[in-house]
Structure 1
Amino acid sequence: MSSPRNRKVPSLAASAVGALALAGLTVLPGTASAAPATGATATTATAAAAAAAPQAGGTTVVRNERQLRRAVLKANRVEGTATIRLASSIGFGPDRPTRGGALRGDLDLTDDLVVRGRGNAIDANQVDRIFDVRDGVTLRLRGVVLRNGQAPETESGGAIRSTGGDVTVRGSQVLDSTASGEGASGGAIVNDQGLLTVARSRLLRNTATRAGGAVEANLGTTVVLGTRMNFNNTGATPGNGGALHLTGAGEVTVTGSWVKNNTASAEGGGLWNSATGDFTVTGTELGGNTAAGAEATNGGGAVYNDGGTLTVSDSRMMNNEATGAAGSGGALLAVGAGDVRVENSELVGNTAPRAGGAIEVADGVVEVWRSELVGNSTGSAPGNGGALHATAATSEVRVLRSRVSGNTASSEGGGLWNSAGATMEVRGSVFTENVAEGDEADNGGGALFNNGGTLQVTRSDIDRNVANGTNGSGGGILTDGGTLEVTQTDITDNTAVRAGGGIEADIGDTTVSQSLLDGNSTGSTPGNGGGLHLTGAGTVAVENSSVTGNTASNEGGGLWNSATGTLSVTATEIVGNTASGAEANAGGGGLYNDGGQLTVDGSTIDDNTADGAAGSGGGVLNVNGTLTMSGTTLDGNSAVRAGGGIETNVGQVTLTNVDTTNNDTGANPGNGGGLHVTAGATVLWTGGTVTGNDAAAQGGGLWNSDTGSITATGLTVEGNTAPEGPEFYNVGGPFVLNGTPVPPS
């Protein structure tokens, strides 16, 4: 038990020696001053000075509790640093007196002390804590085992309490110690406004009711080096920081250490940083830690940041869990307007029921730099952000030069998930084999999900991600409102069951620039937009990009635009895409417009296919919408039914300086090799060429329905082939070619 600071009482050297002898302690050379010599060699003044201020020196060897307590009492009474060596392990007796300084209860230190254990233990036997270090006092433990410390009820520091002291635990162990009762923290050690250094030591199986299963730091400076903090835990009030907890504006550094298998009943299974704390973790492994809090703001299986400054570098966070009903952040949970930086680190196999399998960002700025987020996952409540989830509109997330692979979200954002109003920047990163399993049409986003915030993806690779729910959308990216900007990025071989094999955009503004959409595909429900699909009244711009080799099981092998959407394609290659829908209004191997506004300028639409039983529009299929195209070439496209180059089913089409060459149809029925007009569509074509196209039945170049309208000016139509009307075929609607009416065929 603590006692008031002991007064340093002068005593004669001879008396000190006598006291040690009575206590049965070994007196080594230099333990106490010898009696003054007779004669002129020693003056009365010198003797008086020696008596008035005796000095500690040498080492006191102790073998039992009584010797230990007497040695500590002596160390408190003499100036300087005393040293005690344990010659054997020592256990405390069964009594817990209420007072007594060093002689009763815990060992109160009021002056500097070094304890060398050589592997021997001080076992408190749950009688009391072991050391109570006062303000300004230094304690050095070397090779000591502290075991079964028990702080007095509601007090902190099960084995060591330091109130403004300077404590170093080196090459030692603190085991099975407890701080219990309301507000009790630091099962092994509490550092209250002092300096604590734990180096090359083990802090195992310690428990605190409030916080800091092993260590509680309140303000001050705490340094952990090369140390194992394992199997520590907290109680339930509130239950934060299974291994280490920082309160207030302190500084904590954990370097080259192991933080494993610790448990917090609420937050920070391993480590917990305060709103004003400065916490640095370097070269450390955090594994198998658990945070069990049930609220959405609870969790952080390995680390919890409550708004302070947290840096994790060159570290590994593996198989940590947030296990509460709505627990978030399997490895790391950032709450409050703090700054978090994760650098050169690995976050592997972490899990959370609600969101953020590896990282949950509830607020503040989080930067992930040159790191790997691999194999993390969420549960189903709701199950978003397999690797990282940003909740608050005030969040700022940057993922830079990192790898996000093999993560799973049970609903949305197999890799990353961004909230409404928040900003997420992804740069120079790789996303591969992430999975979003949500069943709804607005679930998915195998690699990334943007829920109405601002998502910027630059110079990255998004490859082989999956939205595999019943109606999952956006195999690579799903953006639901907000702003999506994709620049200099390859989006390849991603898959979605419903739509948007590469990208699904549901309202909002999406820009794809200088990027590649290649080899992406959809399933069959309904299976639209192999490369990109726009749902709702959104705006999509595809610029200076390549859309190649994508597949839709129904419509829009490359790109698909909604009835209320606006899709613009500029200076882009749309090549080798396939739409496999069987109906006459399905197809659009390169592009499909479902009634919205589709603009194509300065682009190339080549070698695309509508290969369904009655698939139409090998290059482009426009259904009830407005298609405006200029300075564009359609070459080598093919459709089974009609419109090898372009099919417009109703709607309005304006073509300026557009060339359709070498496009063809199959035989069902096989009309309009270059362009086919179905029903009451209107086409205005100015400039360009229709050459080398082929239809299996009618209209090798152009085909017009009985209610359709084609007006072409300055258009070259030649070298096309078909059994009937090799250059053009008119069923009966208005058709004027270069000023000359074309009569019904």
Structure 2
Amino acid sequence: MHSSRFLVGCGLLLLAIGAQAQHPDIIVSKTSDSFDGVCDSDCSLREAITLASQRQGSQRIRLGAGVYQLSLAPPQDTAGNPLEEHENHNGDLDVRYAAITLLGAGMTRTVIDAGQLDRHFDVVAGASLLIQDLSLRNGFHSSEGGVLRNYGVAELKRVRLINNRVSFAQPFGRGGAIANYQSLRVLQSEFIRNHLEGRGGMNYTAVAHGGAIYNARDLLVRDSVFRGSRAAADYESGGGALYNSGFADVARSAFIGNGSTGNGGAVSNADNGVLGMSNSTLSSNITLYGGALANGVDYSAEPSSPKAYLVHLSIVANHGRGLHNTGHARVRNSVIVGNQGSNCSSSGIYAQFESQGLLLSDLSPYGCQADFMVDSASVFSEVLYPIDTNATGLPAHLLRPGSAAVDAGTSACASHDQRGVARPRDGDGDGVARCDLGAYEL
């Protein structure tokens, strides 16, 4: 699953941000936006980014508590779209040449508000950006990346991305919050109400890919939650939270209440993408086609065979199908139950489906082989509790005592569950520790 490109990208990021800064920390001294080319005792975030890029090498910028408002609007074209420039004079903050670490005072204490004038950051090839302990809100773009467009190496740690948006015309839009074209790591972060929308609402000539994240290269996600994001345009759209056409490794995360007008109300793995997902919950997502998790699409102009490796997933109570596969899917020790529509389907000339330890709750799995079946009417009375928040803050469907998923794991278990609790444990009291199915270990 892990590509050499991803490992190289992560190595470059760790070297860049782990090295001792060549200069003292840059302190942003005001919350308002300005650019006079100097960062001294009067230093805006824009001026701090510019200074860090001029210095090159590894730089660290500190932001205190407060709302940092980006207000220098970029010029627009005749259609009202923001024009790109790369000198930090206006619009988004351009990260060039340097390895910049941007440190806030806390996810809820430090906020960068883009005022819907432009996206927040544009990272060019050869540069890197680590953002930590702050919120990014009200970003906007007319094509891709409502918060961040990344051609370099980027990492978000304990970052909240909220109410960001891409509103686009023909032919496509990518990443309501992030459009990634190189290496991206997302750790302990929250994506809330990030939207990617074709102008005019249901626009049958535009394609929306990735309500929160569009990934074309290398992506790693850990301990993060995606809530209320959407990708809305025509039926070829996909990935209410995540659209992957590269290499994506997702673990210990939750996708709740996202939506798409096409494939993948939460996650769409398309083209020749490779997706690894483990110990994660997908619940209450809405899709018109293709399931909460779609591996491949029913309608594609190009033949493709995406690969999905899914371990200890709980795909529960989504509106539409649970899992839909038209590529190569391998599912292990997972629970796909209670979805409105078929829980699991696998079809198409390129479709391959393999499973070990799969629990379904309908009698017509449409090409999916299951080891365990339960009555749909018993899902929330005998198998699972309704969605709840566990001690880590990530929503999950807890297992009921005596559930058919308890101690039912086959083959190799993951070493822990969505919370980080060690697997396996003896959940049925028979003295033998076996892992449970799904994201939660009883």
Same fold, judged at TM 0.5 (above): yes
1:461 to 355, 359, 374: 359
2 CA distance for matches of 1:359 and 1:195? 31
Larger Rg: 1
Equivalence for 1:258: 160
- Aligned residue for 1:133, secondary structure, equals helix
Partner residue in 2 for 1:718: none
Map 1:670-709 → 2, pairs under 5 A: none
Identity %: 20
Relative distance call for 1:432 and 1:190 in structure 2 (3 A) is same
Q: Is the 8 A contact 2:32 2:69 kept in 1?
A: no
Please give the TM-score of this superposition, normalised by the length of structure 2.
Answer: 0.65
Does residue 415 (structure 1) correspond to residue 322 (structure 2)? The answer is: yes
Residue 84 of structure 2 aligns with which residue?
A: 183
Deviation at 1:252, TM superposition (A): 0.5
- The Cα shift of 1:476 comes to 4.4
> Residue 132 of structure 1: CA displacement?
7.0
Shift of 1:134: 5.5
Determine which structure has greater relative contact order: mean sequence separation of CA pairs < 8 Å that are 6+ residues apart, divided by chain length: 2
**Secondary structure class of the residue paired with 1:353:** strand
- From 233, 237, 250, the equivalent of 1:342 is 250
How do 1:53-132 residues align onto structure 2 when only pairs under 5 Å count? 106-109=35-38, 115=41, 130=47
* Distance in structure 2 (CA, Å) of the matches to 1:314 and 1:328: 23
In the superposition, relative to structure 1, how do residues 89 and 385 fare at CA in structure 2: closer, same or farther (>3 Å)?
closer
**Residue 171 of structure 1, CA deviation:** 2.1
Q: Distance in 2 between matches of 1:369 and 1:416?
A: 14
Aligned residues: 321
> Counterparts of 1:357 and 1:251 in 2: how far apart (Å)?
28
Is 1:394 aligned to residue 305 of structure 2?
A: yes
Matched, 1:365 2:274: yes
Q: Encode CA deviations 1:551-610: one digit per residue, 9 max, x unaligned.
A: xxxxxxxxxxxxxxxxxxxxxxxxxxxxxxxxxxxxxxxxxxxxxxxxxxxxxxxxxxxx
Q: Distance in 1 between matches of 2:99 and 2:346?
A: 45
User: How far did residue 322 of structure 1 move?
Assistant: 0.7
- Over 3 Å counting, the alpha-carbon distance change for 1:82 and 1:256 in structure 2 is closer
Answering whether residue 148 of structure 2 is matched by residue 244 of structure 1, we say yes
Counterpart position of 2:212: 302
**CA separation of 1:393 and 1:174: change in aligned 2, threshold 3 A:** same
Could you report, residue by residue, the CA deviation over 1:262-293 in whole angstroms, capped at 9, with x for unpaired residues? 0012211111110xx11000100101000114
Change (3 A) 1:311 1:84: closer
Q: Distance in 2 between matches of 1:83 and 1:398?
A: 43
Report the CA distance shift for 1:343/1:165 in structure 2 as closer, same or farther (over 3 A): closer
1:402 shift after superposition: 1.0
SS of the equivalent of 2:248 reads: strand
- Cα gap change, 1:384 to 1:136, in 2 (>3 Å): closer
Query: 1:254 aligns to what SS in structure 2?
Result: strand
Is the 2:26–2:61 Cα contact (8 Å) retained in structure 1?
no
Question: Cα deviations across residues 120-154 of structure 1 (Å, max 9, x unaligned)?
Answer: xx69xxxxx6567257645xxxxxxxxxxxxxxxx
* CA contact 1:137–1:165 (8 Å) conserved in 2: no
> What SS does the aligned partner of 1:352 have?
strand
Please tell me the residue identity of whatever aligns with 2:314. Answer: R
**Cα distance change of structure 1 residues 165 and 180 upon mapping to structure 2, 3 Å threshold:** farther
Long gaps (5+) in structure 1: 1-79, 93-105, 124-128, 139-162, 437-444, 466-474, 496-745
**Amino acid in structure 2 at the alignment position of 1:457:** S
Q: Which amino acid counterpart does residue 397 of structure 1 have in structure 2?
A: A
2-side partners of 1:361 and 1:108: how far apart?
43
Match among 315, 318, 321 for residue 227 of structure 2: 318
Q: Which amino acid aligns with 2:313?
A: S
Change (3 A) 1:432 1:292: same
Partner of 1:233: 140
The letter for the 2-side match of 1:357 is G
SS at match of 1:171: coil
CA–CA separation in structure 1 for the residues paired with 2:49 and 2:177 = 25
Q: Distance in 1 between matches of 2:225 and 2:100?
A: 24
Alpha-carbon distance, 1:82 to partner: 11
Q: 1:397 to 1:296 in 2, by over 3 A?
A: farther
Give the 3-state SS of the residue equivalent to 1:255 in structure 2: strand
315 and 89 in structure 1: CA distance in 2 versus 1, 3 angstrom threshold: closer
Aligned to 2:84, the other structure's residue is in SS state coil
> What is the TM-score when the length of structure 1 is the normalising length?
0.40
Aligned to 1:133: 50
Counterpart CA distance in 1 for 2:33 and 2:274 is 49
Q: How much does 1:367 deviate?
A: 1.2
Other-structure match for 2:178:
271
CA contact (8 A) 1:462 1:476 kept: no
- Could you say which residue in structure 1 is the equivalent of 2:59? 166
Q: CA RMSD in A?
A: 3.2
**Contact 1:296-1:354 within 8 A present in 2 as well:** no
Cα distance between partner residues in 2 of 1:314 and 1:460: 23
Letter matched to residue 328 of structure 1? G
